[in-house]
Structure 1
């Protein structure tokens, strides 16, 4: 196995980024962030890739940021230079939140703090039935800086978000599925195959249609209903001129499977 902190794999139209610090519960460190910074633009620009899966090796998806490294790094960053959190937010979390292709988080185990915030960047979440999910910042006197307090209440009921934030406790994958955060819960030995099957199913759809739907859906909660509808109508007008829409309509009429090109 590679000693890289983040592994990049590609299987047809599906890319996979695997957090690879199992001995440290896949905690986020600068080496991992640097690899995210390299891989995300490459995956976004590759027209052959239609879906991205983010998962982890070992018993944890991600237990959060490497606090030891962050504490050490605070004394080393020069004034005016981006620190660990700056880079994590600007080069990893924000690009994933706005990724032009569907992102699936496959939670293979413990998912805490920055790991939860990383999972929150995904469009869909598939979780192992033994995954434990929580915020945990309160347990260490640390403040969530990647969406724990600001984005989590948009994804689960407010009182559930407050419970996770204030208690530092974890909830099961099944409970988080009931609250709407997790889309599918599967046995641990089926997680990766289930995530791959979901990704391959999605990859058969029109890339340009999915990208436009994601842009509207991601912005919808920040707009009024009427503004969100206008945004959708604008993208619909653009999409009318796409090759994929014409191909989809032709395939429907001809009773065949469409061959989308993403344009």
Structure 2
């Protein structure tokens, strides 16, 4: 399968384990990760998800040796499946962290673009790479990358196929933190556990409003936020948070 899943505390880890192939994504890997995310989205034991890789690459994109294989009649092909996975990851109701351990290109970059937070090992490098093989992006390379970094930076990555350093991408706003290679897993776990201490209901609603804000006018985005707050005022978590504040104790959130 070349993908492992594990729960470490309240953080779910998805690890790409195909290092000799630069963690290139096969249909089986996509199906495995999709199944895991579908199971974890309603699992109260998982409050945040980390995606990372093993070896010299986070992910070099789709496995071009198999990605173009035709699907059986009535079944989804590779493009359908990987787009479904990206859509699920992008809208996942819990915080997602890309812990980028090495080279990330093409579909690997598109997976990073779907995550809420990007942590990078200092040796990591980021690029698009589709143009190197005459392939057109289909999971956000051309559509989402210019929303994450300045348009001229996105076009540089798209047109040249080159990869930039983790420090470069932090400067352009894609990467939140750059850490020493040996500290990447520990930092991702610590950040996931920090998220797990918060109200999962609050984080879910915040993520939804933030994800949709860029496609709305400022007035509509503020209206969406206010409606979400009005709905949230009926929840257990806000009452528990206020009780904990008054009594100067740690809140015990339940997610409803």
- How far is the alpha carbon of 1:47 from its aligned partner? 1.2
- Aligned twin of 1:45: 42
After superposition, the C-alpha distances for 1:213-261 in whole angstroms (9 at most, x for unaligned) are 0000000111111111111011000111111111111111111111111
Tell me the C-alpha RMSD between the 2 structures: 0.9
- Aligned twin of 1:84: 78
Q: Residues of 2 paired with 1:154 and 1:127: CA distance?
A: 19
Q: Residues of 1 paired with 2:223 and 2:44: CA distance?
A: 28
Structure 1: which 5+ runs fail to align? none
- How far is the alpha carbon of 1:178 from its aligned partner? 0.8
- Aligned twin of 1:16: 13
Q: Would you say the 8 A contact 2:34–2:88 is kept in 1?
A: no
- Aligned twin of 2:202: 209
- Aligned twin of 2:139: 146
Alignment of 1:1-263 (within 5 A): 4-71=1-68, 73=69, 76-78=70-72, 81-90=75-84, 92-263=85-256
Deviates more, 1:34-43 or 1:92-101: 34-43
What's the secondary structure of 1:147's corresponding residue? coil
- How far is the alpha carbon of 1:84 from its aligned partner? 0.1
Q: Residues of 2 paired with 1:78 and 1:258: CA distance?
A: 51
After superposition, the C-alpha distances for 1:100-124 in whole angstroms (9 at most, x for unaligned) are 0000000000000000000111000
- How far is the alpha carbon of 1:85 from its aligned partner? 0.7
Q: Residues of 1 paired with 2:67 and 2:206: CA distance?
A: 37
What's the secondary structure of 1:133's corresponding residue? strand
Q: Residues of 1 paired with 2:255 and 2:9: CA distance?
A: 15
What's the secondary structure of 1:67's corresponding residue? coil
After superposition, the C-alpha distances for 1:20-64 in whole angstroms (9 at most, x for unaligned) are 111101001111011012111101010121100000111110000
Q: Would you say the 8 A contact 2:119–2:177 is kept in 1?
A: yes
Structure 2: which 5+ runs fail to align? none
Q: TM-score, normalised by structure 1?
A: 0.95
**Deviant stretches of 4+, over 3 Å:** 78-81
- How far is the alpha carbon of 1:77 from its aligned partner? 2.2
- How far is the alpha carbon of 1:80 from its aligned partner? 5.1
Q: TM-score, normalised by structure 2?
A: 0.98
Q: Residues of 2 paired with 1:43 and 1:55: CA distance?
A: 17
Q: Would you say the 8 A contact 2:23–2:58 is kept in 1?
A: yes
Aligned pair count reads 256
